[in-house]
Amino acid sequence: MSTISLTGKVALITGSSSGLGKAIAERYASLGADVVVHYAKSKAGADSVVETITGLGQRAVAIQADVSKVADIERLFAEALANFGKLDIVVANAGMELVETPVTEFTEAQFDQVFTLNAKGSYFTLQQAAKHVTDNGRIIYVASSTTVFPVPGMAVYGGSKTTPRYLVDVLAKEIGHRGVTVNSLIPFAIDHSGIFADPEAHPELRKSLIDSCPMGRLGSVEDVANLAEFFASDLSSFVNGQHLLANGGATQ
C-alpha cells in the first residue's frame, strides 16, 4: 500500500487564502510540505492559513501579489525562492468567475478583467513555474468543468479557463524531459467556494448544476484537494499533459 508523503517538498499555490487554494495548501502541509500561501487581497485569510500550516509543524509564508500583473507574478516567485530556496510543486489556482451573463450581455470591461486574471495570469504563473520548479517537480493548473461542458451564461469564464489548458499540453511536452509533470485538474462547481461560498447565492444555477449530477451534489474542496494530492505525489510520476475531470458524472 502506498503512503503519500510530501516531506521535504515546497509548494506554491496561487489564490490560497480561501476556498480551493486553501484546501490544497492545507492538504499539502498535512502531507509534510512547506507552503507558500499566495493572496491578492485577504491578508487575514492568508495569515489564517499560515497559522494552520505552522500548527501542523510545517513552514509557511504568505505573499501578496496581483497575478493579473506579470511583474507581481515574477516577484511572487522571487520571494518564494528567497524564503525556501526551491519550489517543487506549483499550483496555478487563482482566478475569478463570471456567471449568469449571456453572450449578448457581457461587456468589454468584464471580458478584459476575467481574461486578464484567468488566462493571462495563469499563463505567466505557469511560465514562472516552468522556469523555477525543480527537476521531477509538479505543475498543476486548476481549470473548470465549464471547459468540458459549456454552460449558458459562462461564455467568458469558460473561455478564460480553457485557454491555459492548451498551455498545459504544450508545457508538458517542453519540460517533460526534466521529469516535471504538467497537468490540469478540472473540478465541477464547488460548494462553499467561489460563487457558492454563500449557500444562498445563485439558487437557480445551483439547482441546475445539482440536477445535472447523478451524485446529486456540488463538489467539495476536499474532492479537489484529493486530485491535487495525486498530481503532487509520486503516484502521478508518469502522468503528464492530462486533464482530470472530477464532476460526479455531471452533464454540465
The full 3-state SS of 179-192, as one line of letters, equals CCEEEEEEECCECC
Q: Which CATH architecture has domain 10-193+220-245?
A: 3-Layer(aba) Sandwich (3.40)
Per-residue pLDDT for 63 more than 70? Answer: yes
pLDDT of residue 2: 57
What ranges do the domains of the chain cover?
10-193+220-245
Q: Which helix (H) or strand (E) holds 89?
A: strand 87-92
**pLDDT tens across 165-221, in order?**
999 999 999 999 999 999 999 999 999 898 898 888 899 999 999 999 999 999 999
Which pairing describes strands 243-246 and 87-92: parallel, antiparallel, or unpaired? unpaired
pTM for the model = 0.96
Per-residue pLDDT for 224 more than 90? Answer: yes
Q: What is the CA radius of gyration of the chain?
A: 17
Per-residue pLDDT for 16 more than 60? Answer: yes
What mean pLDDT comes out for the span 110-127?
98
**pLDDT tens across 129-180, in order?**
999 999 999 999 999 999 999 999 999 999 999 999 999 999 999 999 999 9
Instruction: Find out whether 120 and 68 touch, Cβ atoms under 8 Å.
Output: yes
**pLDDT tens across 3-15, in order?**
899 999 999 999 9
Q: Which amino acid is at 31?
A: L
**Tally of residues, the chain:** 252
Instruction: Find out whether 50 and 102 touch, Cβ atoms under 8 Å.
Output: no
Q: What is the mean pLDDT of the chain?
A: 96
Cell of 102: 449571456
- Helices assigned H by DSSP within the chain: 19-30, 43-55, 70-84, 108-115, 121-132, 155-175, 203-211, 221-232
pLDDT of residue 252: 82
pLDDT of residue 1: 45
What mean pLDDT comes out for the span 125-132?
98
Per-residue pLDDT for 83 more than 90? Answer: yes
Who's near 229: CB < 8 A, 6+ residues apart? 4, 27, 28, 31
Per-residue pLDDT for 125 more than 70? Answer: yes
The 10 Å Cβ neighbour count of residue 164 is 25
Task: Give me the percent of the chain exceeding a pLDDT of 90.
Answer: 94
pLDDT of residue 170: 98
